[in-house]
Amino acid sequence: MRLGNPDHPIRRAAKAIDEMGEIEAILNTAMVVRLAMCDGDQPYIVPLNFAYHAQRLYIHSSRKGRKIDILRANPKVCFETDLDTDVMEPANPDKACDFGMRYRSVVGNGTAEVHEDLLTVAMGLDLLMARFTDRTYDYPEAILHKTAMIVVKIHEVSGKQDGMA
């Protein structure tokens, strides 16, 4: 996994998050990732719950549907997640261009693999559930047979923030 893209650096370098640990903290805390795919010549994006582990995103899904069809045809994806978003009002609210946003965000790209083997599906579900609870779960086999686990191997990632003290 590469931090940033030297061919396309963040324009406002002061807002860049340069530490992989900070980027991973965002990935481990954010609750929703927006996964962008390409359906032929049309972009398609969906918000999803996810888990981050070992430089990969884990996303559960049905084994059928538009998202799965797109990923089987073209596994290249882009993703975005963010935290701590809030409007920052200026001292003089009469100047619209002085308003800003507080945020921490991560953008990346990678390759998605759709897994249907029960071991990978159960492991991904364990990672997802660990984000919400300390409990462990046994998953009914019938549910596992209906579930796919999308595993995104992250190739490149960058982080950006503003208004964070």
Q: Residue 161 above 90 pLDDT? A: no
Q: Residue 85 above 70 pLDDT? A: no
DSSP labels for 9-46?
--SSGGGEE--HHHHHHHHHH-S-EEEEEEETTEEEEE
Which pLDDT band holds residue 1 (cuts at 50, 70, 90)?
low
Q: What is the pLDDT of residues 140-153, one digit of tens each?
A: 999 999 999 999 99
pLDDT given at position 138 = 93
CATH class of segment(s) 2-162: mainly beta
The pLDDT of 127-156, averaged and rounded, is: 95
pLDDT given at position 165 = 47
Q: pTM (2 decimals)?
A: 0.87
The pLDDT of 131-142, averaged and rounded, is: 93
Domain boundaries, the chain: 2-162
Of how many residues is the chain composed?
Answer: 165
| Per-residue b or e along 138-163, where b marks 16 or more CB atoms closer than 10 Å to that residue's CB | eeeeeebeebbbbbbebeebbbbbee
pLDDT given at position 160 = 86
Cβ–Cβ < 8 Å for 101, 88: yes
pLDDT given at position 96 = 64
Query: Is pLDDT larger for residue 131 or for residue 94?
Result: 131
Tokens standing for residue 40: 């032929």
Amino acid 4 reads G
